[in-house]
Structure 1
Amino acid sequence: MSHTLFDLTGRVALVTGSSRGLGRAIAAGLAAAGATVVLNGRDPDRLEAARAELGAEAVAFDVTDEAAVSAGVAALTERHGGIDILVNNAGFQHRQPMLELALADWEAVLRTDLTSAFVVGRAVASGMLERGRGKIINICSVQTALARPSIAAYTAAKGGLRNLTQAMTAEWAGHGLQVNGIAPGYFDTELTAALVADADFSAWVTGRTPAGRWGRTEDLVGPAVFLASDASAFVNGQVLFVDGGMTAVV
Structure 2
Amino acid sequence: MILNFIKILHDNYVWLLTNNKGLSVIIDPGDAAPIIKYINKNNYYPISILLTHYHKDHIKGTLELLNQYPKIKIYGPPKKNNINRNINFVYDNEIIYIEKYAFLIISTPGHTNHDISYYFPPYLFCGDTLFSGGCGKIISGDATLMFNSLKKFSFFPNETLICCGHEYTLSNLKFARYVLPKDNTILKYYIKIKKTIKKNRSSLPSLLINEKKINIFLRTNEFLLKKRIGLKETKKNEEECFSILRNMKDNFNWS
TM-score interval (norm. to shorter)? 0.3 to 0.5
Higher Rg: 2
Query: Normalized against structure 1, the TM-score is what?
Result: 0.38
Greater fraction of residues in helix: 1
Greater fraction of residues in strand: 2
Higher relative contact order (CA 8 A, sep 6+): 1
Query: Normalized against structure 2, the TM-score is what?
Result: 0.37
